Structure 1
Amino acid sequence: MSTPWHLQRMAALDFESSDKDPETARIVTAALILVGGGLDTDTRTWLLAPGIPMEPEAIKVHGITDEYAAEHGQDAEAGVGEIAKAITEVVAAGIPLVGHNIGGYDLTLLDRECRRHLGDSLEGICRQPLTRVIDTMVLDRYCAPFRNRISDTQGPYQMRTTAETYGLPWDEEQAHGAEYDALMSARAAYKMGVIAHTPYRLRPDWVLNLRVNRFNALRDVTVEELHARQVEWYREDAERYEKWLRDPAKAKEKHDPNAVIPTAWPLRPVPAQREAGEGS
Protein backbone atom coordinates (compact mmCIF):
# COMPACT_ATOMS: atom_id res chain seq x y z
CA MET A 1 0.00 0.00 0.00
CA SER A 2 1.12 3.59 -0.57
CA THR A 3 2.28 5.93 2.20
CA PRO A 4 -0.33 6.10 5.00
CA TRP A 5 -2.55 9.14 4.75
CA HIS A 6 -1.19 10.80 7.91
CA LEU A 7 2.37 10.75 6.55
CA GLN A 8 1.47 12.40 3.26
CA ARG A 9 1.56 16.10 2.41
CA MET A 10 -1.42 18.02 3.88
CA ALA A 11 -2.81 21.50 3.34
CA ALA A 12 -4.03 22.83 6.67
CA LEU A 13 -6.74 25.46 6.30
CA ASP A 14 -8.40 27.77 8.80
CA PHE A 15 -10.40 31.00 8.74
CA GLU A 16 -11.28 33.59 11.35
CA SER A 17 -14.46 35.35 10.34
CA SER A 18 -17.02 38.07 11.07
CA ASP A 19 -19.58 35.71 12.67
CA LYS A 20 -20.27 32.02 13.25
CA ASP A 21 -22.86 31.48 10.51
CA PRO A 22 -21.09 30.43 7.27
CA GLU A 23 -24.04 31.70 5.24
CA THR A 24 -23.55 35.28 6.35
CA ALA A 25 -19.97 35.42 7.65
CA ARG A 26 -17.09 37.12 5.85
CA ILE A 27 -13.48 35.98 5.94
CA VAL A 28 -11.26 38.16 8.13
CA THR A 29 -8.07 36.10 8.29
CA ALA A 30 -7.02 32.93 6.51
CA ALA A 31 -4.11 30.52 6.70
CA LEU A 32 -3.14 27.76 4.28
CA ILE A 33 -0.15 25.74 5.47
CA LEU A 34 1.43 22.91 3.47
CA VAL A 35 3.02 20.46 5.91
CA GLY A 36 4.40 16.93 6.04
CA GLY A 37 5.32 14.55 3.29
CA GLY A 38 9.02 15.02 3.98
CA LEU A 39 8.96 18.55 2.55
CA ASP A 40 9.46 21.99 4.08
CA THR A 41 6.47 23.76 5.59
CA ASP A 42 4.95 26.41 3.31
CA THR A 43 2.73 29.01 5.00
CA ARG A 44 0.43 31.57 3.39
CA THR A 45 -1.74 33.96 5.38
CA TRP A 46 -4.25 36.68 4.53
CA LEU A 47 -5.94 39.57 6.32
CA LEU A 48 -9.08 40.81 4.59
CA ALA A 49 -11.29 43.83 5.07
CA PRO A 50 -14.68 42.08 5.31
CA GLY A 51 -16.68 45.17 4.38
CA ILE A 52 -19.35 44.61 7.04
CA PRO A 53 -19.37 45.12 10.82
CA MET A 54 -18.19 42.06 12.71
CA GLU A 55 -20.12 40.44 15.53
CA PRO A 56 -18.72 41.41 18.95
CA GLU A 57 -18.33 37.73 19.87
CA ALA A 58 -16.23 37.13 16.74
CA ILE A 59 -13.96 40.07 17.60
CA LYS A 60 -13.59 38.68 21.10
CA VAL A 61 -12.41 35.36 19.64
CA HIS A 62 -9.87 36.53 17.05
CA GLY A 63 -9.08 39.98 18.42
CA ILE A 64 -9.28 41.85 15.12
CA THR A 65 -11.44 44.97 15.21
CA ASP A 66 -13.48 46.45 12.37
CA GLU A 67 -11.12 49.43 12.30
CA TYR A 68 -7.96 47.33 12.14
CA ALA A 69 -9.34 45.10 9.37
CA ALA A 70 -10.51 48.10 7.36
CA GLU A 71 -7.12 49.83 7.64
CA HIS A 72 -4.79 46.88 7.17
CA GLY A 73 -6.90 44.27 5.39
CA GLN A 74 -6.83 43.42 1.71
CA ASP A 75 -9.87 44.12 -0.47
CA ALA A 76 -12.26 41.23 0.11
CA GLU A 77 -12.79 40.36 -3.56
CA ALA A 78 -9.06 40.31 -4.28
CA GLY A 79 -8.32 38.36 -1.11
CA VAL A 80 -11.00 35.73 -1.73
CA GLY A 81 -9.67 35.39 -5.27
CA GLU A 82 -6.15 34.71 -3.99
CA ILE A 83 -7.37 32.19 -1.41
CA ALA A 84 -9.52 30.38 -3.99
CA LYS A 85 -6.57 30.22 -6.41
CA ALA A 86 -4.34 28.75 -3.70
CA ILE A 87 -6.99 26.16 -2.81
CA THR A 88 -7.43 25.29 -6.48
CA GLU A 89 -3.72 24.56 -6.78
CA VAL A 90 -3.83 22.32 -3.70
CA VAL A 91 -6.87 20.41 -4.94
CA ALA A 92 -5.37 20.00 -8.43
CA ALA A 93 -2.23 18.56 -6.87
CA GLY A 94 -4.28 15.97 -4.96
CA ILE A 95 -3.17 17.29 -1.57
CA PRO A 96 -5.84 16.80 1.09
CA LEU A 97 -7.29 19.80 2.90
CA VAL A 98 -7.20 19.39 6.66
CA GLY A 99 -8.80 21.48 9.39
CA HIS A 100 -10.82 21.34 12.59
CA ASN A 101 -14.50 21.58 11.66
CA ILE A 102 -13.34 22.39 8.12
CA GLY A 103 -16.31 20.50 6.68
CA GLY A 104 -18.78 21.89 9.20
CA TYR A 105 -17.79 25.52 8.69
CA ASP A 106 -14.66 26.66 6.84
CA LEU A 107 -15.28 25.22 3.37
CA THR A 108 -18.90 26.38 3.33
CA LEU A 109 -17.73 29.84 4.39
CA LEU A 110 -15.23 29.90 1.53
CA ASP A 111 -17.83 28.59 -0.91
CA ARG A 112 -20.22 31.42 -0.02
CA GLU A 113 -17.44 33.98 -0.30
CA CYS A 114 -16.54 32.63 -3.74
CA ARG A 115 -20.15 32.91 -4.86
CA ARG A 116 -20.40 36.39 -3.35
CA HIS A 117 -17.22 37.87 -4.81
CA LEU A 118 -16.20 35.61 -7.71
CA GLY A 119 -19.54 34.52 -9.14
CA ASP A 120 -18.93 30.77 -8.87
CA SER A 121 -18.95 28.01 -6.27
CA LEU A 122 -15.75 26.75 -4.66
CA GLU A 123 -16.01 23.45 -6.51
CA GLY A 124 -16.78 25.33 -9.71
CA ILE A 125 -13.60 27.36 -9.32
CA CYS A 126 -11.63 24.19 -8.50
CA ARG A 127 -13.28 22.49 -11.51
CA GLN A 128 -13.80 19.32 -9.52
CA PRO A 129 -15.62 18.15 -6.39
CA LEU A 130 -13.82 18.17 -3.06
CA THR A 131 -13.03 14.52 -2.34
CA ARG A 132 -9.89 14.79 -0.19
CA VAL A 133 -10.89 16.55 3.03
CA ILE A 134 -9.75 15.58 6.54
CA ASP A 135 -11.79 17.07 9.37
CA THR A 136 -10.17 16.48 12.75
CA MET A 137 -13.41 17.28 14.57
CA VAL A 138 -15.25 14.56 12.64
CA LEU A 139 -12.41 12.08 13.18
CA ASP A 140 -12.16 12.84 16.90
CA ARG A 141 -15.91 12.57 17.48
CA TYR A 142 -16.03 9.22 15.70
CA CYS A 143 -12.86 7.65 17.08
CA ALA A 144 -13.18 8.83 20.69
CA PRO A 145 -16.92 9.41 21.29
CA PHE A 146 -18.77 10.35 24.49
CA ARG A 147 -16.17 12.82 25.75
CA ASN A 148 -17.50 15.18 28.41
CA ARG A 149 -17.19 18.95 28.37
CA ILE A 150 -14.02 20.22 29.98
CA SER A 151 -15.77 23.26 31.47
CA ASP A 152 -18.67 25.62 30.85
CA THR A 153 -16.51 27.43 28.28
CA GLN A 154 -14.54 24.52 26.80
CA GLY A 155 -16.47 21.97 24.77
CA PRO A 156 -15.54 18.29 24.37
CA TYR A 157 -14.46 18.52 20.73
CA GLN A 158 -13.32 22.08 20.20
CA MET A 159 -9.79 22.60 18.86
CA ARG A 160 -8.14 23.11 22.24
CA THR A 161 -9.73 19.98 23.71
CA THR A 162 -8.75 17.87 20.73
CA ALA A 163 -5.18 19.18 20.80
CA GLU A 164 -4.76 18.54 24.51
CA THR A 165 -6.38 15.10 24.25
CA TYR A 166 -3.75 14.03 21.72
CA GLY A 167 -0.88 15.41 23.76
CA LEU A 168 -0.27 18.61 21.82
CA PRO A 169 0.86 21.71 23.72
CA TRP A 170 -1.66 24.55 23.64
CA ASP A 171 -0.89 28.27 23.77
CA GLU A 172 -4.10 30.16 24.49
CA GLU A 173 -2.50 33.48 23.54
CA GLN A 174 -1.75 32.25 20.01
CA ALA A 175 -4.97 30.25 19.70
CA HIS A 176 -7.86 31.48 17.56
CA GLY A 177 -5.44 32.85 15.02
CA ALA A 178 -5.90 31.19 11.65
CA GLU A 179 -2.25 30.17 11.32
CA TYR A 180 -2.03 28.59 14.77
CA ASP A 181 -5.34 26.75 14.51
CA ALA A 182 -4.57 25.44 11.02
CA LEU A 183 -1.23 24.04 12.11
CA MET A 184 -2.71 22.45 15.22
CA SER A 185 -5.35 20.70 13.13
CA ALA A 186 -2.66 19.14 10.92
CA ARG A 187 -0.74 18.01 13.98
CA ALA A 188 -3.90 16.51 15.48
CA ALA A 189 -4.62 14.64 12.25
CA TYR A 190 -1.09 13.25 12.32
CA LYS A 191 -1.50 12.12 15.94
CA MET A 192 -4.77 10.35 15.11
CA GLY A 193 -3.12 8.59 12.20
CA VAL A 194 -0.23 7.46 14.38
CA ILE A 195 -2.63 5.96 16.92
CA ALA A 196 -4.59 4.17 14.20
CA HIS A 197 -1.43 2.65 12.72
CA THR A 198 0.02 1.59 16.08
CA PRO A 199 -0.66 -2.00 17.24
CA TYR A 200 -3.64 -1.95 19.58
CA ARG A 201 -1.90 -2.83 22.85
CA LEU A 202 0.84 -0.28 22.21
CA ARG A 203 -1.57 2.64 21.91
CA PRO A 204 -1.69 5.33 24.65
CA ASP A 205 -3.36 4.32 27.90
CA TRP A 206 -6.07 6.97 27.48
CA VAL A 207 -7.08 5.30 24.20
CA LEU A 208 -7.11 1.81 25.73
CA ASN A 209 -9.23 3.12 28.61
CA LEU A 210 -11.93 4.58 26.38
CA ARG A 211 -15.37 3.01 26.73
CA VAL A 212 -15.57 3.03 22.92
CA ASN A 213 -12.74 3.68 20.51
CA ARG A 214 -12.81 3.31 16.75
CA PHE A 215 -9.33 4.30 15.63
CA ASN A 216 -9.06 1.19 13.47
CA ALA A 217 -11.44 2.94 11.06
CA LEU A 218 -8.56 5.28 10.17
CA ARG A 219 -6.14 2.45 9.44
CA ASP A 220 -5.04 1.35 5.97
CA VAL A 221 -7.36 3.65 4.03
CA THR A 222 -6.69 6.08 1.24
CA VAL A 223 -7.50 9.75 1.68
CA GLU A 224 -10.47 9.30 -0.66
CA GLU A 225 -11.77 6.38 1.41
CA LEU A 226 -11.30 8.38 4.60
CA HIS A 227 -13.21 11.27 3.02
CA ALA A 228 -16.12 8.98 2.13
CA ARG A 229 -16.25 7.62 5.66
CA GLN A 230 -16.36 11.11 7.12
CA VAL A 231 -19.38 11.93 4.93
CA GLU A 232 -21.26 9.11 6.67
CA TRP A 233 -19.92 9.81 10.16
CA TYR A 234 -20.87 13.47 9.94
CA ARG A 235 -24.37 12.64 8.67
CA GLU A 236 -24.95 10.06 11.41
CA ASP A 237 -23.75 12.44 14.12
CA ALA A 238 -25.93 15.29 12.82
CA GLU A 239 -29.00 13.03 12.71
CA ARG A 240 -28.37 11.86 16.29
CA TYR A 241 -27.99 15.44 17.50
CA GLU A 242 -31.18 16.55 15.75
CA LYS A 243 -33.09 13.66 17.31
CA TRP A 244 -31.67 14.57 20.74
CA LEU A 245 -32.69 18.24 20.38
CA ARG A 246 -36.23 17.21 19.46
CA ASP A 247 -36.56 15.00 22.55
CA PRO A 248 -37.74 17.16 25.49
CA ALA A 249 -36.78 14.54 28.08
CA LYS A 250 -33.17 14.41 26.88
CA ALA A 251 -32.53 17.94 25.64
CA LYS A 252 -34.39 19.68 28.51
CA GLU A 253 -33.64 23.43 28.31
CA LYS A 254 -32.07 22.95 24.85
CA HIS A 255 -35.20 21.23 23.51
CA ASP A 256 -36.23 22.41 20.05
CA PRO A 257 -39.08 20.43 18.44
CA ASN A 258 -38.27 21.97 15.05
CA ALA A 259 -34.49 21.55 15.16
CA VAL A 260 -32.86 20.91 11.79
CA ILE A 261 -29.16 20.03 11.80
CA PRO A 262 -27.39 20.09 8.41
CA THR A 263 -26.13 16.65 7.41
CA ALA A 264 -24.10 17.50 4.28
CA TRP A 265 -20.31 17.39 4.51
CA PRO A 266 -17.87 18.90 3.55
CA LEU A 267 -20.03 21.52 1.83
CA ARG A 268 -23.57 22.51 2.73
CA PRO A 269 -26.01 23.06 -0.13
CA VAL A 270 -26.91 26.67 -0.79
CA PRO A 271 -30.25 27.51 0.88
CA ALA A 272 -33.14 27.74 -1.56
CA GLN A 273 -33.70 31.46 -0.99
CA ARG A 274 -30.09 32.20 -1.88
CA GLU A 275 -30.37 30.08 -5.01
CA ALA A 276 -33.29 32.32 -5.92
CA GLY A 277 -31.12 35.40 -5.44
CA GLU A 278 -32.69 36.55 -2.18
CA GLY A 279 -29.56 36.12 -0.02
CA SER A 280 -26.71 38.49 0.62
Structure 2
Amino acid sequence: MGAWHELPLWDDDTWDEAAPAEVASAIARPEPATVESVVVAEVPTESVSPGPCAGPLGVFDLETTGIDVRSDRIVSAHVGVLDASGAVIDARTWLADPGVEIPAGATAVHGITTERARTEGRPAAEVVAEVTATLRDLFAAGIPVVAYNAPFDFSLLKYEGIRHGVAPIESPSPVIDPLVVDKTYDRYRRGKRTLEVVAAHYSVALEGAHDAAADAIAAGRVAQAIAARFDLDVSAHDLHTQQVAWARAQAESLTEYFVRIGRLDADVDGSWPIR
Protein backbone atom coordinates (compact mmCIF):
# COMPACT_ATOMS: atom_id res chain seq x y z
CA MET A 1 0.00 0.00 0.00
CA GLY A 2 1.34 3.43 -0.88
CA ALA A 3 1.92 6.25 1.56
CA TRP A 4 -0.91 8.71 2.14
CA HIS A 5 0.73 11.32 -0.06
CA GLU A 6 0.48 8.82 -2.91
CA LEU A 7 -3.31 8.53 -2.81
CA PRO A 8 -5.33 7.61 -4.86
CA LEU A 9 -4.09 4.05 -4.60
CA TRP A 10 -4.84 2.83 -8.10
CA ASP A 11 -5.06 4.84 -11.26
CA ASP A 12 -8.85 5.06 -11.13
CA ASP A 13 -9.58 4.89 -7.41
CA THR A 14 -10.29 7.87 -5.21
CA TRP A 15 -12.13 8.90 -2.07
CA ASP A 16 -15.59 10.26 -1.51
CA GLU A 17 -16.84 12.76 1.06
CA ALA A 18 -17.61 10.02 3.58
CA ALA A 19 -14.74 7.55 3.46
CA PRO A 20 -11.08 7.16 2.44
CA ALA A 21 -10.01 5.30 -0.69
CA GLU A 22 -9.97 1.52 -0.87
CA VAL A 23 -7.51 -0.60 -2.76
CA ALA A 24 -8.94 -1.85 -6.06
CA SER A 25 -10.49 -5.29 -5.70
CA ALA A 26 -8.42 -8.18 -7.01
CA ILE A 27 -10.95 -9.46 -9.50
CA ALA A 28 -9.85 -12.25 -11.80
CA ARG A 29 -10.08 -11.24 -15.43
CA PRO A 30 -10.76 -13.36 -18.49
CA GLU A 31 -8.00 -14.09 -20.98
CA PRO A 32 -6.39 -10.72 -21.83
CA ALA A 33 -7.18 -9.26 -25.20
CA THR A 34 -4.42 -9.14 -27.77
CA VAL A 35 -2.38 -5.95 -27.53
CA GLU A 36 -2.38 -4.17 -30.85
CA SER A 37 0.10 -1.58 -32.05
CA VAL A 38 -1.32 1.12 -34.29
CA VAL A 39 0.58 4.32 -34.99
CA VAL A 40 -1.18 7.46 -33.76
CA ALA A 41 -1.98 9.61 -36.75
CA GLU A 42 -0.82 13.20 -36.79
CA VAL A 43 -3.76 15.55 -36.22
CA PRO A 44 -3.41 18.97 -37.86
CA THR A 45 -3.27 21.81 -35.37
CA GLU A 46 -5.84 23.80 -37.33
CA SER A 47 -8.44 21.07 -36.76
CA VAL A 48 -8.38 21.48 -32.97
CA SER A 49 -11.76 22.68 -31.70
CA PRO A 50 -11.89 25.64 -29.29
CA GLY A 51 -13.96 23.80 -26.65
CA PRO A 52 -12.15 21.80 -23.94
CA CYS A 53 -13.38 18.35 -25.02
CA ALA A 54 -14.85 18.80 -28.48
CA GLY A 55 -12.03 17.06 -30.31
CA PRO A 56 -9.62 16.06 -31.45
CA LEU A 57 -9.03 14.83 -27.93
CA GLY A 58 -6.06 12.78 -26.76
CA VAL A 59 -6.53 9.95 -24.26
CA PHE A 60 -3.89 8.28 -22.10
CA ASP A 61 -3.80 5.41 -19.61
CA LEU A 62 -1.24 3.09 -18.01
CA GLU A 63 -1.52 -0.33 -16.42
CA THR A 64 1.31 -0.98 -14.01
CA THR A 65 3.03 -3.29 -11.55
CA GLY A 66 1.58 -1.39 -8.59
CA ILE A 67 0.55 1.89 -7.02
CA ASP A 68 3.83 3.66 -6.20
CA VAL A 69 4.52 6.17 -8.96
CA ARG A 70 8.21 6.35 -8.04
CA SER A 71 9.08 2.67 -7.95
CA ASP A 72 6.45 0.75 -9.91
CA ARG A 73 6.69 0.04 -13.62
CA ILE A 74 4.62 0.29 -16.77
CA VAL A 75 3.10 -2.97 -18.01
CA SER A 76 0.84 -1.61 -20.74
CA ALA A 77 0.01 1.83 -22.10
CA HIS A 78 -2.45 3.41 -24.48
CA VAL A 79 -2.43 6.78 -26.21
CA GLY A 80 -5.23 7.58 -28.61
CA VAL A 81 -7.19 10.37 -30.26
CA LEU A 82 -10.98 10.77 -30.26
CA ASP A 83 -13.08 12.97 -32.51
CA ALA A 84 -15.93 15.22 -31.36
CA SER A 85 -18.35 12.28 -31.32
CA GLY A 86 -16.05 10.15 -29.16
CA ALA A 87 -15.06 7.88 -32.05
CA VAL A 88 -11.46 6.67 -32.11
CA ILE A 89 -9.46 8.40 -34.82
CA ASP A 90 -6.17 6.62 -34.22
CA ALA A 91 -4.44 4.98 -31.30
CA ARG A 92 -1.50 2.96 -30.12
CA THR A 93 -1.26 0.37 -27.36
CA TRP A 94 2.02 -0.91 -25.96
CA LEU A 95 2.85 -4.03 -23.95
CA ALA A 96 6.09 -3.70 -21.99
CA ASP A 97 8.42 -6.08 -20.25
CA PRO A 98 8.82 -4.08 -17.03
CA GLY A 99 12.01 -5.91 -16.10
CA VAL A 100 10.58 -6.99 -12.75
CA GLU A 101 8.04 -9.53 -11.54
CA ILE A 102 4.44 -8.39 -11.91
CA PRO A 103 2.78 -8.99 -8.52
CA ALA A 104 -0.22 -11.31 -8.45
CA GLY A 105 -2.40 -8.47 -7.17
CA ALA A 106 -1.54 -6.33 -10.19
CA THR A 107 -2.14 -9.22 -12.57
CA ALA A 108 -5.55 -9.74 -10.97
CA VAL A 109 -6.40 -6.13 -11.86
CA HIS A 110 -5.17 -5.87 -15.45
CA GLY A 111 -4.76 -9.52 -16.42
CA ILE A 112 -1.14 -9.37 -17.62
CA THR A 113 1.26 -11.94 -16.18
CA THR A 114 5.01 -11.71 -15.83
CA GLU A 115 5.39 -14.56 -18.32
CA ARG A 116 3.28 -12.82 -20.94
CA ALA A 117 5.07 -9.49 -20.45
CA ARG A 118 8.46 -11.16 -20.85
CA THR A 119 7.38 -13.16 -23.88
CA GLU A 120 5.33 -10.58 -25.77
CA GLY A 121 6.37 -7.25 -24.27
CA ARG A 122 8.92 -4.86 -25.69
CA PRO A 123 11.83 -3.48 -23.67
CA ALA A 124 10.57 -1.00 -21.10
CA ALA A 125 12.97 1.75 -22.19
CA GLU A 126 11.59 1.64 -25.75
CA VAL A 127 8.00 1.73 -24.55
CA VAL A 128 8.64 4.63 -22.18
CA ALA A 129 10.40 6.59 -24.94
CA GLU A 130 7.61 6.01 -27.46
CA VAL A 131 4.75 6.78 -25.05
CA THR A 132 6.51 9.98 -23.97
CA ALA A 133 7.18 11.04 -27.56
CA THR A 134 3.59 10.35 -28.63
CA LEU A 135 2.19 12.44 -25.78
CA ARG A 136 4.72 15.19 -26.43
CA ASP A 137 3.57 15.35 -30.07
CA LEU A 138 -0.08 15.71 -29.02
CA PHE A 139 0.74 18.54 -26.63
CA ALA A 140 2.91 20.24 -29.25
CA ALA A 141 -0.09 20.18 -31.60
CA GLY A 142 -2.21 21.86 -28.91
CA ILE A 143 -4.36 18.77 -28.44
CA PRO A 144 -5.61 18.26 -24.86
CA VAL A 145 -4.98 14.85 -23.33
CA VAL A 146 -7.50 13.18 -21.03
CA ALA A 147 -6.15 11.04 -18.20
CA TYR A 148 -8.37 9.82 -15.37
CA ASN A 149 -6.56 10.71 -12.13
CA ALA A 150 -3.83 12.31 -14.21
CA PRO A 151 -1.13 12.58 -11.49
CA PHE A 152 -0.87 8.80 -11.30
CA ASP A 153 -0.22 8.19 -14.99
CA PHE A 154 1.89 11.26 -15.75
CA SER A 155 3.97 10.92 -12.58
CA LEU A 156 4.64 7.22 -13.08
CA LEU A 157 5.62 7.89 -16.70
CA LYS A 158 7.96 10.64 -15.50
CA TYR A 159 9.77 8.38 -13.05
CA GLU A 160 9.97 5.62 -15.64
CA GLY A 161 11.58 8.15 -17.96
CA ILE A 162 14.14 9.09 -15.33
CA ARG A 163 14.82 5.39 -14.71
CA HIS A 164 15.41 4.66 -18.40
CA GLY A 165 17.17 7.85 -19.45
CA VAL A 166 14.18 9.31 -21.29
CA ALA A 167 13.61 13.04 -20.84
CA PRO A 168 10.20 13.30 -19.11
CA ILE A 169 7.41 15.72 -19.91
CA GLU A 170 7.91 18.06 -16.97
CA SER A 171 4.71 20.12 -17.38
CA PRO A 172 2.13 18.26 -19.47
CA SER A 173 -0.50 20.69 -20.76
CA PRO A 174 -3.32 20.94 -21.53
CA VAL A 175 -4.57 17.96 -19.53
CA ILE A 176 -8.19 17.15 -18.72
CA ASP A 177 -8.83 14.96 -15.69
CA PRO A 178 -12.46 13.80 -15.51
CA LEU A 179 -11.97 12.81 -11.86
CA VAL A 180 -11.09 16.36 -10.82
CA VAL A 181 -13.74 17.97 -13.03
CA ASP A 182 -16.48 15.60 -11.89
CA LYS A 183 -15.70 16.17 -8.22
CA THR A 184 -15.86 19.92 -8.82
CA TYR A 185 -19.15 20.04 -10.71
CA ASP A 186 -20.90 17.27 -8.75
CA ARG A 187 -19.10 17.53 -5.43
CA TYR A 188 -21.75 16.11 -3.13
CA ARG A 189 -22.67 13.02 -5.12
CA ARG A 190 -22.19 10.06 -2.80
CA GLY A 191 -20.22 6.94 -3.61
CA LYS A 192 -16.95 5.95 -5.19
CA ARG A 193 -15.40 7.86 -8.07
CA THR A 194 -13.64 5.00 -9.83
CA LEU A 195 -13.64 5.22 -13.59
CA GLU A 196 -16.13 2.35 -13.79
CA VAL A 197 -18.58 4.08 -11.44
CA VAL A 198 -18.22 7.51 -13.02
CA ALA A 199 -18.51 6.13 -16.54
CA ALA A 200 -21.77 4.41 -15.57
CA HIS A 201 -23.03 7.64 -14.00
CA TYR A 202 -22.51 9.47 -17.30
CA SER A 203 -23.85 6.54 -19.38
CA VAL A 204 -20.48 5.84 -20.96
CA ALA A 205 -19.83 2.21 -21.84
CA LEU A 206 -16.71 0.66 -20.31
CA GLU A 207 -16.05 -2.93 -21.30
CA GLY A 208 -12.87 -4.56 -20.07
CA ALA A 209 -12.03 -2.16 -17.25
CA HIS A 210 -8.33 -2.02 -16.35
CA ASP A 211 -7.35 -2.55 -19.95
CA ALA A 212 -5.30 0.51 -20.92
CA ALA A 213 -7.13 1.10 -24.21
CA ALA A 214 -10.60 0.57 -22.76
CA ASP A 215 -9.91 2.83 -19.80
CA ALA A 216 -8.32 5.59 -21.87
CA ILE A 217 -11.15 5.70 -24.39
CA ALA A 218 -13.83 5.59 -21.70
CA ALA A 219 -12.11 8.41 -19.80
CA GLY A 220 -12.11 10.56 -22.93
CA ARG A 221 -15.80 9.93 -23.48
CA VAL A 222 -16.54 10.67 -19.82
CA ALA A 223 -14.73 14.00 -20.21
CA GLN A 224 -16.90 14.79 -23.23
CA ALA A 225 -20.05 13.76 -21.34
CA ILE A 226 -19.16 15.98 -18.38
CA ALA A 227 -18.44 18.92 -20.69
CA ALA A 228 -21.82 18.45 -22.38
CA ARG A 229 -23.79 17.99 -19.16
CA PHE A 230 -22.36 21.07 -17.48
CA ASP A 231 -22.04 23.11 -20.68
CA LEU A 232 -18.33 23.79 -20.26
CA ASP A 233 -17.32 26.50 -22.68
CA VAL A 234 -13.80 27.37 -21.54
CA SER A 235 -10.72 26.52 -23.57
CA ALA A 236 -8.72 23.42 -22.74
CA HIS A 237 -5.87 25.62 -21.50
CA ASP A 238 -8.20 27.57 -19.20
CA LEU A 239 -9.73 24.33 -17.92
CA HIS A 240 -6.22 23.01 -17.25
CA THR A 241 -5.45 26.07 -15.12
CA GLN A 242 -8.71 25.71 -13.21
CA GLN A 243 -8.01 22.04 -12.47
CA VAL A 244 -4.70 22.93 -10.80
CA ALA A 245 -6.64 24.91 -8.18
CA TRP A 246 -9.48 22.39 -7.95
CA ALA A 247 -7.12 19.47 -7.34
CA ARG A 248 -5.33 21.39 -4.61
CA ALA A 249 -8.61 22.24 -2.90
CA GLN A 250 -9.77 18.62 -3.11
CA ALA A 251 -6.51 17.42 -1.54
CA GLU A 252 -6.90 19.95 1.27
CA SER A 253 -10.46 18.74 1.87
CA LEU A 254 -9.27 15.13 2.03
CA THR A 255 -6.50 16.07 4.45
CA GLU A 256 -9.05 17.78 6.70
CA TYR A 257 -11.21 14.65 6.59
CA PHE A 258 -8.30 12.44 7.62
CA VAL A 259 -7.52 14.78 10.52
CA ARG A 260 -11.15 14.60 11.65
CA ILE A 261 -11.04 10.81 11.80
CA GLY A 262 -7.69 10.76 13.58
CA ARG A 263 -5.28 10.01 10.72
CA LEU A 264 -2.89 12.74 11.76
CA ASP A 265 -0.08 11.39 9.58
CA ALA A 266 -2.08 11.93 6.39
CA ASP A 267 -0.33 14.13 3.85
CA VAL A 268 -2.26 14.29 0.57
CA ASP A 269 -0.32 15.79 -2.31
CA GLY A 270 -2.56 18.12 -4.28
CA SER A 271 -0.08 18.68 -7.11
CA TRP A 272 -1.71 18.30 -10.51
CA PRO A 273 -1.36 17.00 -13.24
CA ILE A 274 2.06 15.63 -12.27
CA ARG A 275 3.97 15.09 -9.05
- Report the TM-score when normalising by structure 2: 0.78
- Decide whether the 8 Å contact of 2:199 with 2:222 is kept in 1: yes
Aligned residue identity for 1:167 = S
- Decide whether the 8 Å contact of 1:20 with 1:58 is kept in 2: no
* Cα distance, 1:40–1:99 mapped onto 2, change above 3 Å: closer
Give the CA deviation at 1:43.
Answer: 1.1
Give the CA deviation at 1:105.
Answer: 0.4
Give the CA deviation at 1:40.
Answer: 6.0
Aligned mates of 1:48, 1:170 — CA distance in 2? 23
Aligned-residue CA RMSD (Å): 1.6
Does residue 229 (structure 1) correspond to residue 242 (structure 2)? The answer is yes
Equivalent in 175, 178, 182 of residue 209 of structure 2: 175
* Equivalent position of 2:121 in the other structure: 73
Equivalent in 50, 67, 80 of residue 20 of structure 1: 67
- Decide whether the 8 Å contact of 1:114 with 1:120 is kept in 2: yes
Greater fraction of residues in helix: 1
* Equivalent position of 2:185 in the other structure: 143
Aligned mates of 2:227, 2:149 — CA distance in 1? 17
Aligned positions, number:
226
Equivalent in 143, 164, 168 of residue 117 of structure 1: 164
Equivalent in 105, 115, 131 of residue 152 of structure 2: 105
CA-to-partner distance for each residue in 1:4-39, whole Å, 9 max, x for gaps?
222121110000000011111100000011111478
Give the CA deviation at 1:121.
Answer: 2.7
- Decide whether the 8 Å contact of 1:16 with 1:177 is kept in 2: yes
Does residue 191 (structure 1) correspond to residue 198 (structure 2)? The answer is no
Aligned mates of 1:7, 1:233 — CA distance in 2? 22
Aligned residue identity for 1:109 = L
- Report the TM-score when normalising by structure 1: 0.77
Higher RCO (Cα < 8 Å, 6 or more apart): 2
Give the CA deviation at 1:52.
Answer: 1.1
* Equivalent position of 1:47 in the other structure: 95
CA-to-partner distance for each residue in 1:59-102, whole Å, 9 max, x for gaps?
11001111111111000011111111111111111111102112
* Cα distance, 1:193–1:101 mapped onto 2, change above 3 Å: same
Name whichever of 181-190 and 3-12 sits farther off. 3-12
Equivalent in 143, 148, 153 of residue 95 of structure 1: 143
Name stretches of at least 5 consecutive residues in structure 1 with no aligned partner.
Answer: 124-128, 150-155, 198-218, 269-280
* Cα distance, 1:220–1:170 mapped onto 2, change above 3 Å: closer
* Equivalent position of 1:204 in the other structure: none
CA-to-partner distance for each residue in 1:101-157, whole Å, 9 max, x for gaps?
12x30000111111111253323xxxxx322000011111111112322xxxxxx11
Aligned residue identity for 2:270 = T
Match of 1:237, SS state, is: helix
Aligned mates of 1:106, 1:119 — CA distance in 2? 16
Higher Rg of the two aligned structures: 1
